[in-house]
Every structure is written in C-alpha cells, then in structure tokens.
Structure 1
Amino acid sequence: MNESSVSRIVDYPDEPTALLQQLLDAVRNHQPESQIYMNLATIDDEFTVLNRTVLYRGISVDKCVIYATQRFTRNYKNIKANAKCAVTILMPVVSLPSQGSTPFLWQVRLLGATAVELPESELDAWWNRESLSAKIRDTIFPCGQPVDYDELKAKHDQFLKEYRASGKPLQRPPTFTAFKFEVQRYDFLKVGLNQIADRVQYRRQECGHWQAMHVAT
C-alpha cells in the first residue's frame, strides 16, 4: 500500500544553534565516535562555484558555526575574495527525543552566511581541538598539489615517529586559521520515509533576535 504523511518539527527552542546542538548531541549519543561533516560552497574565479565537504568544528561563544582551514588553500582564497558562503549540514539518521522515537533525516542550511576570520588570539583554542591527523596534514601536506603517494606516506610516517619521540605537542602553524559564519537565516528540514518534509526557519530580525516559523518544503 502506498503511504504518505507530513513530518512535523515540534518543541523547537528559540535559538537556532540550540536546535543544532540538540541534533549534534543526538548523533553523538547514537554514534560516539562519529564525526559531523558539512558542505561548504564558495565563489571561485576559475570554476564559478566550488563546494566541498568539510569537518564541522563547533560553535563559537557568540553562537556561530566554525570552519577551520589553511591560508594557502583555494577555499581560503575564495572566502577572502568573497565572504558570502552557503553551508549545509546533513544528518541522515537522527533520533531526537523531543521529536519522538523514530529516526529522521535532518538537513540544516545556513542562509545568507558571511565568513568572518577569527583573530589570532582565538586560533590556539581551535587548533588544540584538532585531531592529530588534521594537525599533521596542516603541517606537512601540500594541499592541491600533485604528489607521489609513497613519498608522501614516508614523509607522514617519519613526521609521526619524530612527534611521538619528542613527547611535545604540535605547534599551530602560521597558515592555520578559522572562520565563523554570521548567518541571516537557519533552515531546519526534517523528513522520514514516505513523508513530506517539514521545515522550521529562523530569521534574524533587525533587533538581533530570531523569529522562528514553519515554511513549506
């Protein structure tokens, strides 16, 4: 028998990052070792628009999503040339207690996002949260350049050996940086099997507060 129903987002908080945090916590409660990824699209002189899947880093004190990168990468150069970005976070299977026991697919879009580079004084804190593999990549990998795998693997293994022997933490390279996304709207979509999705959109008002509303999918 064909089925159809309408999804519904209920009991959502006043702040969009609070709902985002609830979803992230639900994913990690189900899969403690899982990582959250987001799709980032930027304007590019050569390819017009470029998108890539990047690791979600966290939420800043002023409630902005954080993105970390290197100053020599194309994405950094794209953002510095045009700070307007599009960001999507997709969470395919989420069981959120406030939304019932059934798992749903959630999509979170950051609309009207402007990337603002963090000051040097804040970068160490985000560097310290990076995984060892990310720190090694940021230190020795030539992003976007043609490489010989065996040479790169040997370079990695030697670097890792020396790091372990030293017993010292890896220092933040001068190329490491991070951005926060200042957003005009957050768009949350929830949908299950054979359902029409529901969306709740948070729209920033001139006073700085958020207005939340259901919008048609």
Structure 2
Amino acid sequence: MSKSTVAHITNNPDEPVTFFKQITEAAKKQSTEDVIFMNLATIDEEFGVLNRTVVYRGLSDDNCIIYVTQRFTRNFKNIQANAKCGITFFLPNVVVPLQGQDPAIWQVRLIGATAEELPESQLDEWWNKELLSAQIRDHIFPCGQPVNYVELVEKHDRFLHDHLESKVPLQRPATYTAFKFRAQRWDFLKVGSGQIADRVQYRRLENGDWQSMHVST
C-alpha cells in the first residue's frame, strides 16, 4: 500500500554552517570515501548557465565554502565576470544523529552565493592539501582543450616519474587559485521514502545574524 508522510527537520542549530557540518560529517562517516561533492553553477557569456560537479574542499576561517580552480579555466572567467553563483550539495541516505535514526536524502543549497578570490597568502595552505593527482593535473593538463589521450598519458607518466625521482614537493603553479562563497541564504532540504520534503531556510539579516524558518517545498 502506498503511503505519504511529511519529513521533519528538528533541532536545527542557530547557525547554518553548524547544520552543514553536522550533515557533511555524518555523510563522511557513513561513506567509504572521505570526500563530499558539490555542484557549482555560473553564468557564461557563450552558453548561459554552466554547472559542474566538483570536490568540496572545506571551509574558510570565516565559514565560507571553498572552491579551488585555475585562472585559465572557463569557470574562473565566469566567476570574474559575474561573482554570483549557485552551489548545491546532494547527500543521499544519510543518518544525521540529531535528526533521527532513519536515513534521508539531504540537499543543501547556497542561494545568492557571492565569490571572493582568496589572497595569495592563503593559497599555499589549500595547495598543500591537494592530492598528488590534482597537483599533477594543475601542472600539465590543459583544461578544456582537445588532446591526444595516448600523448597525455605519456606526458603524465614522465612528469610523475621525474617528480618521484626528484623527491621534491610540487610547487603551486601561478595559475592555481581559490574562491570562498558568502551566501545570502542557506537552504536545507530533508526527505525520506514516501515523504513530502521539509525545508529549513536561513536568511541573513541586515545586522549579519541568521533567521531560520521552515518553508514549503
């Protein structure tokens, strides 16, 4: 027999970042992969809205979402031209302890997220957290350009061999950069099987505080 219930978000904290941490930390603990993905949408002069799914890197010191990229990419140029972006996290089958013991689909959106490029003084911190594969890509892979796969693999293998032989850490290329996103609103959606979703939205007030409320889906 079909059923219908309404999901309920309870015990949500006063600050949206605290809630975000509760959900993402629960998702990491319940996954075999210690990684969270996010979808980033930008405005492109040629194609309109462009979105891509990228690795979530972490939070800045002032609790903003961090996004790492290269200065020659289309997404960097998009953000330079229009700093307003859309960010979505989709986290299925997550049990958030303060929200009950049943797994649920969680969606977290940053609405009206404005990108701010990090200063050079902060970039090494993020570069040093990168996986070796990501560091090699940033050095030798021409993002978005047509390539010959065999030649690309050979180039990668030579670079990797030389790097391992040198035993010297890879230095951050001048093109490497990162943005942090300051949101006007955080939107949290929770839904389980046979349920109507519940949403809690945090809206930033003029004084900088957050006001939270349930909103309909």
TM-score normalized with structure 2 length: 0.98
Find the counterpart in structure 2 of residue 185 from structure 1. 185
Find the counterpart in structure 2 of residue 26 from structure 1. 26
Task: State the one-letter code of the partner of 1:74.
Answer: R
| 1:45-81: CA deviation from partner (whole Å, max 9, x where unpaired) | 1001111111111011101000000000000000001
Specify the SS of the correspondent of 2:63. Answer: coil
Tell me whether 1:42 sits opposite 2:9 in the alignment: no
Cα distance in 1 between the residues matched to 2:13 and 2:164? 45
Cα distance in 1 between the residues matched to 2:170 and 2:18? 33
Cα distance in 2 between the residues matched to 1:27 and 1:160? 33
| 1:119-172: CA deviation from partner (whole Å, max 9, x where unpaired) | 001111111111111111111000000000000001111111111111111110
Specify the SS of the correspondent of 1:59. Answer: coil
Task: State the one-letter code of the partner of 2:112.
Answer: G
Find the counterpart in structure 1 of residue 66 from structure 2. 66
Cα distance in 2 between the residues matched to 1:183 and 1:116? 11
Cα distance in 2 between the residues matched to 1:196 and 1:26? 22
Task: State the one-letter code of the partner of 2:100.
Answer: G
TM-fit CA distance, 1:92: 1.1
Find the counterpart in structure 2 of residue 57 from structure 1. 57
Greater shift, 169-178 or 34-43, is seen at 34-43
Cα distance in 1 between the residues matched to 2:76 and 2:104? 34
Find the counterpart in structure 2 of residue 85 from structure 1. 85
Find the counterpart in structure 1 of residue 199 from structure 2. 199
1:1-217 equivalences in 2 (<5 Å):
1-217=1-217
Cα distance in 1 between the residues matched to 2:13 and 2:163? 44
TM-fit CA distance, 1:32: 4.6
TM-score normalized with structure 1 length: 0.98
TM-fit CA distance, 1:33: 2.4
Task: State the one-letter code of the partner of 2:119.
Answer: P
State the Cα RMSD in Å.
0.8
Specify every segment of 5 or more residues in structure 1 that has no aligned partner in the other structure, as ranges: none
Specify the SS of the correspondent of 1:35. Answer: coil
Task: State the one-letter code of the partner of 2:19.
Answer: L
Cα distance in 2 between the residues matched to 1:127 and 1:18? 25
Cα distance in 2 between the residues matched to 1:142 and 1:171? 18
Task: State the one-letter code of the partner of 1:116.
Answer: E
Aligned length: 217
| 1:80-101: CA deviation from partner (whole Å, max 9, x where unpaired) | 0110101101101211111111
Task: State the one-letter code of the partner of 2:66.
Answer: I
